[in-house]
Amino acid sequence: MLFTGPPQLGQGNNVIMAHTSTRRLYRSTDQGKIWREITDDMAKAPSARYSKSDEDKADPKIENYHVHPTNPDVVLGTGEDKRHFLSDNAGKTWRKILSKNRINRFIFHPKRPKWAIVTSLTEDCRKKGATAADTCNHMAWITTDLGERFTLINAYRIGKLLLFNVG
Protein backbone atom coordinates (compact mmCIF):
# COMPACT_ATOMS: atom_id res chain seq x y z
CA MET A 1 0.00 0.00 0.00
CA LEU A 2 1.51 3.32 -1.10
CA PHE A 3 0.98 6.38 1.12
CA THR A 4 1.13 9.92 -0.25
CA GLY A 5 0.37 13.43 0.97
CA PRO A 6 1.48 16.11 3.41
CA PRO A 7 2.53 14.56 6.71
CA GLN A 8 1.01 16.78 9.40
CA LEU A 9 -2.29 18.57 9.98
CA GLY A 10 -4.04 20.44 12.75
CA GLN A 11 -2.91 23.30 14.91
CA GLY A 12 -0.80 21.05 17.15
CA ASN A 13 0.67 19.13 14.17
CA ASN A 14 -0.11 15.78 15.84
CA VAL A 15 -2.55 14.68 13.13
CA ILE A 16 -1.25 12.87 10.08
CA MET A 17 -3.27 11.71 7.07
CA ALA A 18 -2.25 9.21 4.46
CA HIS A 19 -3.80 8.62 1.05
CA THR A 20 -3.27 5.17 -0.41
CA SER A 21 -2.97 3.87 -3.95
CA THR A 22 -6.31 2.10 -3.36
CA ARG A 23 -7.89 5.58 -2.91
CA ARG A 24 -8.55 5.23 0.82
CA LEU A 25 -7.76 7.84 3.47
CA TYR A 26 -6.22 7.08 6.85
CA ARG A 27 -5.81 9.37 9.87
CA SER A 28 -3.55 9.24 12.90
CA THR A 29 -3.83 11.54 15.92
CA ASP A 30 -0.54 10.45 17.51
CA GLN A 31 1.96 11.23 14.73
CA GLY A 32 1.53 7.86 13.05
CA LYS A 33 1.66 5.33 15.89
CA ILE A 34 -1.98 4.24 15.42
CA TRP A 35 -3.89 4.63 12.14
CA ARG A 36 -7.63 4.57 11.48
CA GLU A 37 -9.21 4.22 8.04
CA ILE A 38 -11.69 7.12 7.66
CA THR A 39 -12.98 6.86 4.08
CA ASP A 40 -16.23 5.16 5.05
CA ASP A 41 -16.86 7.81 7.74
CA MET A 42 -16.55 10.46 5.06
CA ALA A 43 -19.30 8.80 3.02
CA LYS A 44 -21.66 9.06 6.01
CA ALA A 45 -20.91 12.77 6.44
CA PRO A 46 -23.90 15.14 6.56
CA SER A 47 -24.76 18.01 4.28
CA ALA A 48 -28.07 19.82 4.15
CA ARG A 49 -27.42 20.75 0.53
CA TYR A 50 -26.32 17.31 -0.68
CA SER A 51 -28.85 15.28 -2.63
CA LYS A 52 -29.19 11.62 -1.75
CA SER A 53 -28.53 9.09 -4.48
CA ASP A 54 -27.37 5.54 -5.04
CA GLU A 55 -23.90 7.05 -5.28
CA ASP A 56 -24.04 7.69 -1.50
CA LYS A 57 -24.37 3.97 -0.85
CA ALA A 58 -21.34 3.06 -2.93
CA ASP A 59 -17.89 2.65 -1.44
CA PRO A 60 -16.24 6.09 -1.75
CA LYS A 61 -12.91 6.52 -3.47
CA ILE A 62 -10.79 9.52 -2.53
CA GLU A 63 -8.72 10.74 -5.47
CA ASN A 64 -6.63 13.15 -3.41
CA TYR A 65 -6.69 15.45 -0.42
CA HIS A 66 -5.64 19.06 -0.06
CA VAL A 67 -4.63 20.90 3.12
CA HIS A 68 -5.25 24.65 3.39
CA PRO A 69 -1.86 26.40 3.16
CA THR A 70 -2.42 28.69 6.16
CA ASN A 71 -4.97 26.72 8.20
CA PRO A 72 -3.90 23.08 8.66
CA ASP A 73 -7.28 22.24 10.22
CA VAL A 74 -9.00 22.65 6.84
CA VAL A 75 -8.78 19.62 4.55
CA LEU A 76 -10.57 18.87 1.28
CA GLY A 77 -10.98 15.28 0.13
CA THR A 78 -11.68 15.14 -3.60
CA GLY A 79 -13.56 12.01 -4.45
CA GLU A 80 -14.73 10.28 -7.57
CA ASP A 81 -16.95 12.26 -9.89
CA LYS A 82 -19.05 14.68 -7.80
CA ARG A 83 -18.40 13.25 -4.32
CA HIS A 84 -16.19 15.60 -2.31
CA PHE A 85 -15.67 16.12 1.41
CA LEU A 86 -14.44 18.94 3.62
CA SER A 87 -13.17 19.00 7.19
CA ASP A 88 -12.45 22.05 9.32
CA ASN A 89 -10.99 20.07 12.24
CA ALA A 90 -8.06 18.21 10.65
CA GLY A 91 -10.19 15.29 9.46
CA LYS A 92 -11.99 14.48 12.71
CA THR A 93 -15.38 15.13 11.11
CA TRP A 94 -16.39 15.74 7.50
CA ARG A 95 -19.21 17.25 5.49
CA LYS A 96 -20.14 16.56 1.90
CA ILE A 97 -19.70 19.22 -0.73
CA LEU A 98 -22.29 19.42 -3.47
CA SER A 99 -20.52 19.86 -6.78
CA LYS A 100 -22.23 20.04 -10.15
CA ASN A 101 -19.15 18.59 -11.84
CA ARG A 102 -16.01 16.70 -11.07
CA ILE A 103 -13.44 18.96 -9.40
CA ASN A 104 -10.39 19.48 -11.57
CA ARG A 105 -8.46 21.86 -9.27
CA PHE A 106 -9.23 23.31 -5.83
CA ILE A 107 -7.07 26.28 -4.88
CA PHE A 108 -7.40 27.70 -1.38
CA HIS A 109 -7.06 31.47 -1.08
CA PRO A 110 -3.83 32.19 0.84
CA LYS A 111 -5.27 35.05 2.94
CA ARG A 112 -9.01 34.40 3.13
CA PRO A 113 -9.45 31.08 4.95
CA LYS A 114 -12.96 30.27 3.67
CA TRP A 115 -12.34 31.24 0.04
CA ALA A 116 -11.26 29.00 -2.82
CA ILE A 117 -11.23 28.87 -6.60
CA VAL A 118 -12.47 25.59 -8.05
CA THR A 119 -12.15 24.48 -11.65
CA SER A 120 -14.22 21.72 -13.19
CA LEU A 121 -15.04 20.13 -16.53
CA THR A 122 -18.48 19.22 -17.82
CA GLU A 123 -19.36 15.54 -18.26
CA ASP A 124 -18.95 15.82 -22.04
CA CYS A 125 -15.21 16.42 -21.56
CA ARG A 126 -14.83 12.90 -20.20
CA LYS A 127 -16.42 11.24 -23.19
CA LYS A 128 -14.03 9.33 -25.41
CA GLY A 129 -12.95 11.49 -28.32
CA ALA A 130 -14.41 14.74 -26.94
CA THR A 131 -13.12 17.85 -28.68
CA ALA A 132 -13.39 21.61 -28.21
CA ALA A 133 -16.13 21.61 -30.86
CA ASP A 134 -18.28 19.47 -28.56
CA THR A 135 -20.05 20.77 -25.48
CA CYS A 136 -16.93 20.25 -23.38
CA ASN A 137 -16.69 23.27 -21.09
CA HIS A 138 -14.16 24.24 -18.46
CA MET A 139 -15.64 26.21 -15.59
CA ALA A 140 -14.13 28.31 -12.83
CA TRP A 141 -16.09 28.75 -9.60
CA ILE A 142 -15.50 30.67 -6.38
CA THR A 143 -16.61 29.70 -2.90
CA THR A 144 -16.44 32.10 0.03
CA ASP A 145 -17.81 29.62 2.60
CA LEU A 146 -15.61 26.53 2.13
CA GLY A 147 -17.86 24.82 -0.37
CA GLU A 148 -21.33 25.43 1.02
CA ARG A 149 -22.10 27.43 -2.15
CA PHE A 150 -20.28 28.02 -5.41
CA THR A 151 -20.62 30.98 -7.78
CA LEU A 152 -19.66 30.56 -11.43
CA ILE A 153 -16.89 32.96 -12.45
CA ASN A 154 -16.37 31.84 -16.03
CA ALA A 155 -17.21 29.02 -18.42
CA TYR A 156 -15.49 28.45 -21.73
CA ARG A 157 -14.81 25.78 -24.30
CA ILE A 158 -11.56 23.88 -23.98
CA GLY A 159 -8.83 25.65 -25.92
CA LYS A 160 -9.52 29.11 -24.50
CA LEU A 161 -7.34 30.36 -21.69
CA LEU A 162 -8.53 31.57 -18.31
CA LEU A 163 -6.13 33.52 -16.12
CA PHE A 164 -6.90 34.54 -12.57
CA ASN A 165 -5.00 35.71 -9.54
CA VAL A 166 -6.00 34.54 -6.05
CA GLY A 167 -3.63 36.89 -4.23
**101 forms bridges with which residues in the sheet?**
none
- Summarize pLDDT for 62-72 with one digit per residue, the tens: 888 888 888 88
Percent of the chain's residues with pLDDT above 70: 72
- Summarize pLDDT for 73-101 with one digit per residue, the tens: 888 888 877 788 999 898 999 998 877 77
Identify how many contiguous H helices and E strands the chain contains and give both numbers. Answer: 2, 12
Q: Tell me the pLDDT band of 11, cut-offs 50, 70 and 90.
A: low
Give yes or no for a contact between 138 and 151, defined as CB atoms under 8 angstroms apart.
Answer: no
Which of residues 102 and 157 earns the better pLDDT score?
Answer: 102
Pairing between strand 83-87 and 75-79?
antiparallel
C-alpha to C-alpha distances, 69 to 25, 108, 112, 115, 116, nearest whole angstrom? 19, 7, 11, 12, 11
- Summarize pLDDT for 138-160 with one digit per residue, the tens: 889 999 998 888 899 988 765 54
Q: Tell me the pLDDT band of 133, cut-offs 50, 70 and 90.
A: low
Give yes or no for a contact between 153 and 163, defined as CB atoms under 8 angstroms apart.
Answer: no
Give yes or no for a contact between 90 and 78, defined as CB atoms under 8 angstroms apart.
Answer: no
Residues 6 or more apart in contact with residue 142 via CB below 8 angstroms = 115, 116, 117, 118, 150, 151, 153
C-alpha to C-alpha distances, 73 to 24, 47, 166, nearest whole angstrom? 19, 19, 20
Mean pLDDT rounded to a whole number for the chain: 77
pTM here? 0.75
Give the pLDDT score at 67. 87
Give the pLDDT score at 129. 62
